[in-house]
Amino acid sequence: MKKLFAISIAIIFASVSFGQKIDESQVPDVVVKTFKARFTTASSAKWEKEDSTYSVEFLMEDANTEADFTAKGEWLNTEWEIPAEYAPQDIKDYITKNYSGYKIKEMSVTEYPVDGKLYVVEINKKKDCQALYFTLKNEFKKAVKLCCVKGKCEAPKTFTPPDTK
C-alpha cells in the first residue's frame, strides 16, 4: 500500500507540474486500448507523458477526470477533482482540529487499484504542504508530506509515504 500511494502521488503531481503534452498517436496502442476499454464514455481526451507514465485528462459524464497508466497499459489511478467548498464537513472539521491554520488547496476523489476510492485533500500553511487521505466515509487514513514549490504542492522526487499499519 505504501508503494501504491507513493507512485500515485508522484504521478499525479509530476504529471500536472512537469508532464509533456503529446498527441494520442504518440501514446502506445496498449495504453490507448486500456483507456478506451475502461472509460467507454470519455470525450475530449488530452494526453501527457512524464517519464514512462501516460496521463490523460478527459470528460466523463460532464466531469473533469484524469487517469494514469504505465507504458505497458496498466491502470494506476483515476482522479476526479472536487471544488474545496464541497469538502465533506467531517473532513473540514478534522483539518480545523488537527491542522490549525492550514487551507485546502485541492481536493479529489482518487481511485486506486488496491485501495479503491479515497478522498485526497492537499492542504498547505505557508511553505508546508501535505496530502491527507480519507475514506469515502470521511475516516482519516494518513498524511503525506509534500514539497511546496512556488506556492504549489508537489510530490518530492524521492517520495516515500509513511507506513500506514
pLDDT in tens, 63-92: 899 999 999 999 999 999 999 999 999 999
Which residue shows C-alpha cell 485501495? 115
Distance of alpha carbon 15 from the chain centroid: 10
Q: What is the rounded distance in angstroms from the CA atom of residue 78 to the CA atom of residue 60?
A: 12
Nearest by Cα to 54 from 89, 88, 95, 25: 25
What pLDDT is stored for residue 153 in this prediction? 72
Which residue shows C-alpha cell 507504458? 71
Q: What is the rounded distance in angstroms from the CA atom of residue 14 to the CA atom of residue 16?
A: 5
Q: Enumerate domains of the chain plus CATH numbers.
A: 2-154 (3.10.450.360)
Three cell numbers at 28?
502506445
Taking 70 as the pLDDT cut, the residues of the chain under it are 1-18, 151, 155-165
DSSP string over 36-81: HHH-TT-EEEEEEEETTEEEEEEEETTEEEEEEEETT--EEEEEEE
Q: Global pTM?
A: 0.78
Three cell numbers at 110?
482518487
